[in-house]
Amino acid sequence: MKNNTLDKKEIEKFSNIAEEWWNPTGKFKPLHKFNPLRIKYIKDNLINDFDLKNKKKPLEGLKILDIGCGGGLLSEPLARLGAKVTGIDPLKRNIEIAKHHLKISKLNIKYYNFSPEKFKSNYKYDVILNMEIVEHVENVDFFINQSAKFLKKSGIMFVATLNQTLKSYLFAIIGAEYILKWLPIGTHDWQKFIKPAELTKICKKNSLSLKTVDGMSFNPIIGKWNISTDKSVNYIAKFNKN
């Protein structure tokens, strides 16, 4: 097992488009469309699981670690909801862009240029986010192991990724990259997609119990993402630390 989560090809790939993070019509346009669903899903689950009562700042009091935070597209909305957010990313340019955007948003987020195996923290987090990241790392087993060490007992880890199915190859690669041009060609490697059962097995080895797994589907008619029973392409899983 490689004691390293960095895939050099993936780092280079995302370095080339890092300037686009906050452009809603640029290379990350699909992520901008995807983001409202991710925010709502995380918020609703956390309100229920932690029995949070503050309506104005519903996530107030929660410490969240956003691993592979990119330019901060998810970190910022969660900070607005009251969470104390830390974002880490192995790509230096991503962190520079995230920090630059903080000057506009004026939010209190800590960003660090680290992969999880290099990151150090004085405390454990209530919530860990691994959103659309495991399909880009060198070693998923080691990545989950290094992510889980920052999670409190009974804390929650969200993992959003792509299933390894024929449908995901046709939709996420052939459709999204080659036909619809939603993503740059080469954004995804189908060999790195992971089935929910395999992800659950890896997480179980690292003291993480599966609580829920939901599909996420795009409705082209209304141009929106929705939570779905169809997990054959995109899915999001929620785990609790034992």
Fold of 8-241: Rossmann fold (3.40.50)
- Taking the C-alpha atoms of residue 134 and residue 132, their distance in angstroms, rounded to an integer, is 6
What are the φ and ψ backbone dihedral angles of 171, each rounded to 5 degrees? -85, -50
Tokens of 88: 């880490």
Bridge-based pairing of strands 151-162 and 109-112 is unpaired
Count of alpha carbons within 13 angstroms of residue 231, beta-carbon side? 14
pTM, two decimal places: 0.94
157 beta partners: 128, 239
Tokens of 238: 């929620």
3-state secondary structure at position 94: helix
Q: Report the chain (242 residues): mean pLDDT per 10 consecutive residues.
A: 77 88 92 95 98 95 97 98 98 96 97 97 97 96 98 98 96 86 86 97 98 94 93 97 97
DSSP state of 72: S
3-state secondary structure at position 241: strand
Helix axes 196-205, 140-148, angle to 10 degrees: 50
Domain ranges within the chain, ordered by starting residue: 8-241
What are the φ and ψ backbone dihedral angles of 46, each rounded to 5 degrees? -70, -40
- Taking the C-alpha atoms of residue 30 and residue 186, their distance in angstroms, rounded to an integer, is 15
Bridge-based pairing of strands 109-112 and 208-219 is unpaired
